[in-house]
Amino acid sequence: SYIPPLCNPTRVAIVGAGKVGSTLAQRIAERNIADVVLLDVVEGMPQAIALDLTQARGLEHHDCQIIGTNDYADTANSDIVVISAGKPRQPGMSRDELMKTNAKIVLEATKQAIAYSPDAIFIVITNPLDVMTYLTWQASGLPPHRVMGMAGILDSARFQTFIAMELGVSIVDVKGMVLGSHGELMVPLPRYSTVSGIPITELLDAATIDRLIERTRNGGGEIVELMRTGGAYFAPASSTCEMVESILFNQSRLVPAAAYLQGEYGLKDVFIGVPCRLGCRGIESILELNLTDSETTALHISAESVRHNIEFANQLLAAT
């Protein structure tokens, strides 16, 4: 009789089972991509979410196992570790305090997760994104191509949406390219954003493009303002899911992600959003686009602010 070989199911650990983490678990399971381990410090909560998602299996027709836990041992042998743990900014809490709190959470999560999954690829979601990605890389001791931050793909998705809405064309035909850090200093590139291959600079006037860029820059902020108690999570979860899929299926998708630069774009020792080819080894390569002087300046200003915040985060951590 035929005995099938033992298989080793693909597994994604998600540290931080909040809005983004739990929605990502749902996306991964419903696309039937991998087994998911959801971990959080809150007792019972990740277990409850995992059970709820599992109860939907018969309706969503997927075969993924979803485990909820408070114990890193359950994340063992994950192929990908996603870090979505963090605290939201509380009323009266300064940005500095938030930075320190999230830095500690991310460092702890990285150290614990890497101990059980030394071969994993890390995708960081926690804000401030580029800084937290750097800290994850530092704490993990991994080669830089195995650590990346999710932001550029989300910022580009938002840009794409606003372009499609403005032109009244199908989103399917729109591609956007947004580089730089996640936040005010992101660098949308209209010349490299297209509708069926046609740069949007051929289809929209400068003032309209500026308006769409402004809305993209404020894409997260607009949602925070409406929501009041938290931020976006559907589009962030979809964006991360695309990255997970490209890595696990070795698709080599070309998407902007926060990557460690070693001279590319004239920048060194910083994580910032640039076009990356994502495959089974993580960041397979970084694409260096031809940028105009003003685009290069914008990217360098963005990188300078990330670098400043990395130093600041390290000082805060050293002082505790």
Geometric angle at alpha carbon 271, from 265 and 274, rounded to 5°: 50
Q: Residues 36, 21: contact at Cβ < 8 Å?
A: no
Secondary structure class of 147 (helix, strand, coil): strand
Closest approach of Cβ 101 to ligand TXD, in Å?
9
Distances (CA, A) of 155 to 6, 94, 151, 228, 258: 41, 25, 6, 21, 12
Residues 227-286 that bind ligand TXD (CB under 6 A): 230-233, 236
Kind of pairing between the strands at 268-279 and 11-15: unpaired
Secondary structure class of 112 (helix, strand, coil): helix
List the end-to-end C-alpha distance of the chain, in Å, as a whole number. 62
300 a catalytic residue? no
Which of 12, 17, 34, 49: binder of ligand TXD (CB under 6 A)?
A: 17
Beta strands in the chain (DSSP E): 11-15, 35-39, 66-69, 80-83, 121-124, 147-149, 174-175, 178-180, 186-188, 194-195, 198-199, 253-262, 268-279, 282-286
Q: Looking at beta carbons, which pairs linking 316-320 to residues 24 or more positions away fall under 8 Å?
A: 316/96, 316/99, 316/100, 316/103, 317/100, 317/103, 317/104, 317/107, 320/100, 320/104
Active-site residue, from 61, 62, 145, 182: 182
> Using CB under 6 A, which of the segments 14-22, 53-61, 203-211, 272-280 binds ligand TXD?
14-22
Which of 13, 18, 113, 174: binder of ligand TXD (CB under 6 A)?
A: 18
> Using CB under 6 A, which of the segments 61-69, 120-128, 156-164, 195-203 binds ligand TXD?
120-128
Two tokens, residue 297? 């300046």
199 in contact with ligand TXD (CB under 6 A) = no
Closest approach of Cβ 205 to ligand TXD, in Å?
29
Which of 34, 129, 261, 270: binder of ligand TXD (CB under 6 A)?
A: 129
Which of 14, 28, 40, 213: binder of ligand TXD (CB under 6 A)?
A: 40
Binding mask 141-180 for ligand TXD (x = CB under 6 A): ---------xx--x--------------------------
Which of 31, 41, 56, 203: binder of ligand TXD (CB under 6 A)?
A: 41
Q: Per-residue b/e over 128-164, b at no fewer than 16 CB within 10 Å? A: bbbbbbbbbbbbbebebbbbbbbbbbbbbbbbbbbbb
82 in contact with ligand TXD (CB under 6 A) = no
What is the C-alpha to C-alpha distance for residues 213 and 221, in angstroms, rounded to an integer? Answer: 13
Report how many residues bind ligand TXD under the rule CB under 6 A: 32
Nearer to ligand TXD, 126 or 216 (CB): 126
19 in contact with ligand TXD (CB under 6 A) = yes
188 in contact with ligand TXD (CB under 6 A) = no
Closest approach of Cβ 253 to ligand TXD, in Å?
17
Closest approach of Cβ 203 to ligand TXD, in Å?
27
Which of 64, 105, 121, 298: binder of ligand TXD (CB under 6 A)?
A: 105
The Cβ of residue 115 has, within 10 Å, a number of other Cβ atoms equal to: 12
> Given the rule CB under 6 A, which residues bind ligand TXD?
15-21, 40-42, 84-88, 102, 105, 108-109, 125-127, 129, 150-151, 154, 182, 230-233, 236
Catalytic residue numbers read: 182
